[in-house]
Chain A
Amino acid sequence: MLDTAPAVRRAPGRRTSGRARPRRRPRFGPYLLIAPTVVVIAVLMFWPMVQIGIMSFQKVGNRQLRGEPAETVGTENFDKIFNDPFFWQTLRHTVLFAVVAVSLTLVVGTLVGLLLNKLGKRMSSFVAGGVMVAWATPPVTAAIIFSWLFGTTGGLVNWCLDLLPDFLVGGGWSDYNWFATPLSTYTVLTVCVVWQACPFVAVSVLAGLKSVPGELYEAARVDGSGPWRTFWSLTYPMLKPIFLVLVVMSIIWDFKVFTQLFIMAGMANRDAFNLSLYGYSEAFGSLNPKLGMGSAIALVLTLILLVVTALYVRVMVRQGETR
């Protein structure tokens, strides 16, 4: 069905004939080739997904971990969660952080991508290489580096803020603790996550810009179109499919951010939890594990992301990516 849908543009090298040539190979060849992957995905992703659904309606604690059967408790887990102001607070943190981080990532990343496109060949690959370093840094390391940069003793950021004149930023920065309140913790987290995520956006935008014919920009310039207008009436429409993918991926990454926040806030700092951390902490964070509660929270997170994913898959199918 979809196989005959016309692709938007075709990648070179990808065969476009919709018909396979007759082969002497047995008909089940491709099924054998994908079988191991299908098994792996079924066992490691689909089945656990189903389990999350089942466990959300169960009580799974220490006794179950010792081998007793789980007891079904109906919607008790969800009743508890939805009636708990703490859940709504973590959801608020999750959504607000995603909105801020995704917007910043896309704006800064796009600007860097545009810059890379304007630079000369050698300078462009030099800067791109530098930007890649941020992307390659392991999340654990990134979170620790930013904890150090924003640290109280010897932290570079507080030292810089102290140097700035007081009427700009206020005084007394030298012993300011960035990890004392959720807001300031999330500020550091945002800087860290945006720093890591921008390169992906920048490089994707750059790759997209390379595919836009130069004559179009030439024409825009001749017509006296400024950079702002050129971007919105030429670049953006041309790169719309890329931006869609980037928005979806960024939303998903930032919605479930775990490692960096775990390092910065830790399990003890409940005030700074987001959904990921809250679900994890219910399931594993204490001597009294509540895997059912954790699953219910994880299910809420997964369902939100599923909606976003459905949108993404639709775009990919429309672009002929699954041909």
Chain B
Amino acid sequence: MRRLPRKLLLNGTGLLVFLVAVFPVFWMASTAFKPNTEIFSTTPKPLPSHPTLEHFDLVLNGGIAEVSFWEYFRNSAILALVTVLASGLLSLMAAIAVARFRFRFRTTFLIMLLVVQMVPCEALVIPLFLDLKQLDLLNSLAGLVIVYIGFAVPFAIWMLRGFVAAVPRELEEAAAIDGAGPIRTFFRVMLPLVAPGLVATSIFSFITAWNEFIFAFTFLDDQTKYTLPIMLQFFFGRSGNAWGPIMAASTLLTIPVIAFFLIVQRRMVSGLTAGAVKG
């Protein structure tokens, strides 16, 4: 008899936690659809009474900066995709080495991966600025993407090594006995089986590049090269409290990330806790 109220209490608390967690994001989206009169009204309402697309129209059709929104979107997408491809390749190679071979300095390499994940990029931005300047790569997406790859790879290796280790060696050996060379074995056995892990890792690298602020802010000068977060910060700093368009732009930046994130959340956690949780 006493079990029902306890269950109710638990589920009620759960629902409350859910609401608190999603509320800021909900408020962002809700504000984006409100006309200005409702945004600045003295009695805020959770949902817009007269939803409008005017703020999105302003953001998408060039009312907020000298350059079209799609230009920023394109820059962000290029950076994120190149980061995903390059760090995917590098981290898969290294993960295979770590999970499949025992070699000298293997432990050193793993410790190095752990250490560099802790390096504050807020500090490295100063020397990297000078280095890119010397290489004439400042104010270019190429220079930025090199830095992004470096910061995405260590975590990607850490995440992928578990997936590689889970591929049964017997399958690879069977392929080798059937006369397939190492390259063919890799494409026929390893790659298909490690694909889910590669997808999860890729999305994480994608988000890292998509959300990044400090390097992009420091290295990029021209508005045509800005990424979405820089555009958003720039617009926010300039427009004071034009909350409608600011929230519309924020929504456009955030939705893809949240969608991706929810797809891979479980794998991401096991990667992040780096096996502190074994199960």
Contact = CB atoms under 8 A, between A and B. Distances in A.
A145 B147 contact: no
A134 B22 contact: yes
Chain B interface, >50% SS class: helix
A13 B39 contact: no
Given A40-B90, A141-B253, A18 B102 contact: yes
Contacts of A161: none
A36 interface: yes
B17 A112 contact: yes
B120 A301 contact: yes
Contacts of A13: 162, 165-166
Interface of A: 1-3, 8-11, 13-15, 18-21, 25, 29-31, 33-34, 36-38, 40-41, 43-45, 47-49, 51-52, 55, 60, 65, 112, 115-116, 118-120, 123-124, 126-142, 144-149, 151, 153-154, 156, 159, 195, 199-200, 203-204, 207-208, 210-211, 241-242, 244-245, 252, 255-256, 258-259, 262-263, 266, 276, 279-280, 283-284, 291, 294-295, 298-299, 301-302, 305-306, 308-309, 312-313, 316-317, 319, 321-323
A283 B124 CA distance: 12
B23 to A, nearest CB: 9
B277 A208 contact: yes
B10 A115 contact: yes
A112 B20 CA distance: 12
Contacts of B15: 127
Interface stretch (B49-57, B60-68, B264-272): B264-272
Contact of B44 (A135, A154, A199, A319): A154
A242 B150 contact: no
A137 B273 contact: no
A31 B103 contact: yes
Contact of B107 (A2, A21, A120): A2
B17 A20 contact: no
Chain A interface, >50% SS class: helix
B253 A138 contact: yes
Contacts of B146: 44
Contact of B274 (A47, A148, A321): A321
B18 A148 contact: no
Given A127-B17, A313-B115, A305 B153 contact: no
A142 B273 contact: no
B218 interface: yes
A138 B211 contact: yes
Nearest to B39: A154
9 contacts: A36-B93, A126-B18, A204-B272, A242-B273, A302-B123, A305-B118, A312-B114, A319-B275, A322-B114
B272 A322 contact: no
Top-10 shortest CB links A-B = A44-B150, A136-B261, A298-B123, A33-B97, A51-B127, A130-B18, A211-B279, A13-B166, A48-B127, A30-B97
B11 A34 contact: no
Contacts of B237: 266
B110 to A, nearest CB: 4
Interface of B: 10-11, 13-15, 17-19, 21-22, 24-25, 27-28, 31, 39-44, 90-91, 93-94, 96-98, 100-103, 106-107, 109-112, 114-116, 118-120, 122-131, 133, 146-147, 149-151, 153-154, 157, 162, 165-166, 169, 182, 207, 210-211, 213-214, 218, 229, 232-233, 236-237, 241, 243, 246-247, 250, 253-254, 257-258, 260-262, 265, 269-270, 272-279
A127 B162 CA distance: 27
B208 to A, nearest CB: 11
Given A138-B257, A276-B122, A45 B109 contact: no
A316 B274 contact: yes
Contacts of A299: 123
A47 B232 CA distance: 32
Nearest to A19: B102
Contact of A115 (B13, B41, B165): B13
A144 B250 contact: yes
A47 B119 CA distance: 12
Contact of B40 (A146, A154, A308): A154
Contacts of A295: 126-127
A297 B17 CA distance: 39
Given A20-B102, A154-B243, A130 B118 contact: no
A13 B166 CA distance: 5
